[in-house]
């Protein structure tokens, strides 16, 4: 499996096999802690080949600097891959919508994408404290 696209964004959708992404970002600015980000999406486009045929388990983790997963539940998908005889590869789009993610401290975070417990991609994220009157 190859991760072709892995981004954190405002929103995303799978539109007839096309991955539509709006507003990618890697920094959250806040004026207070704890901070709650109301909504974001993780958009993935994965490419599978013959050797990937079968069932796999994809999992997402939002890891803080201490190695703690900040997501409230096990987020991911069970993926079944079966390439049609006339195709060389198969692409799948996955969109995960996250609501009300809380950050109790500033610092560096990462969104880790694991397939069958193997790290496939890492999306960086930082949370930065800004005074209310300082522009972003």
Name the E strands within 49-88. Answer: 54-63, 75-81
* Number of Cβ atoms within 10 Å of the Cβ of 98: 18
Inform me whether the pLDDT recorded for 104 exceeds 80: yes
Whether the predicted pLDDT of 136 surpasses 70: no
In a domain, 56, yes or no: yes
Spatial strand order in the sheet of 2-15: 18-24, 2-15, 35-48, 90-103
Percent of the chain with pLDDT over 70: 99
Question: Which band of pLDDT confidence, cut at 50, 70 and 90, is reported for residue 16?
Answer: very high
Over residues 105-132, the mean pLDDT reads 95
Range of 39's domain? 2-129
51 domain residue, yes or no: yes
Whole-number average pLDDT of the chain = 94
The verdict on residue 78 lying in a domain is: yes
Q: What is the pLDDT of residues 37-73, one digit of tens each?
A: 999 999 999 999 999 999 999 999 999 999 999 987 7
Domain count, the chain: 1
pLDDT digit string (tens) for 24-39?
999 999 999 999 999 9
Question: Is pLDDT at 2 greater than 90 in this prediction?
Answer: yes
Tell me if 135 is assigned to some domain: no
Q: What is the pLDDT of residues 111-121, one digit of tens each?
A: 999 999 999 99
Q: Distances in Å between the alpha carbon of 3 and those of 48, 49, 122?
A: 9, 12, 10
Structure tokens that stand for 46 in this block:
């994965």
Residue 7, domain CATH: 2.60.40.2550
* In-domain check, residue 86: yes
């Amino acid at each position: 499996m190859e991760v072709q696209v892995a981004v954190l964004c405002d929103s995303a959708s799978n539109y007839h096999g096309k991955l539509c992404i709006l507003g990618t970002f890697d920094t959250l600015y806040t004026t207070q802690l704890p901070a709650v980000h109301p909504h974001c999406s993780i958009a993935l486009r994965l490419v599978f080949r013959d050797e990937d045929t079968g069932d796999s388990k994809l999992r997402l983790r939002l890891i803080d600097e201490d190695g703690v997963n900040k997501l409230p539940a096990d987020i991911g998908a069970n993926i079944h891959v079966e390439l049609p005889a006339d195709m060389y590869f198969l692409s799948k789009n996955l969109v995960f919508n996250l609501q009300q993610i809380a950050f109790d401290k500033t610092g560096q975070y990462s969104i880790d994408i694991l397939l069958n417990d193997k790290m496939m991609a890492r999306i960086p994220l930082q949370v930065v404290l800004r005074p209310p009157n300082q522009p972003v």
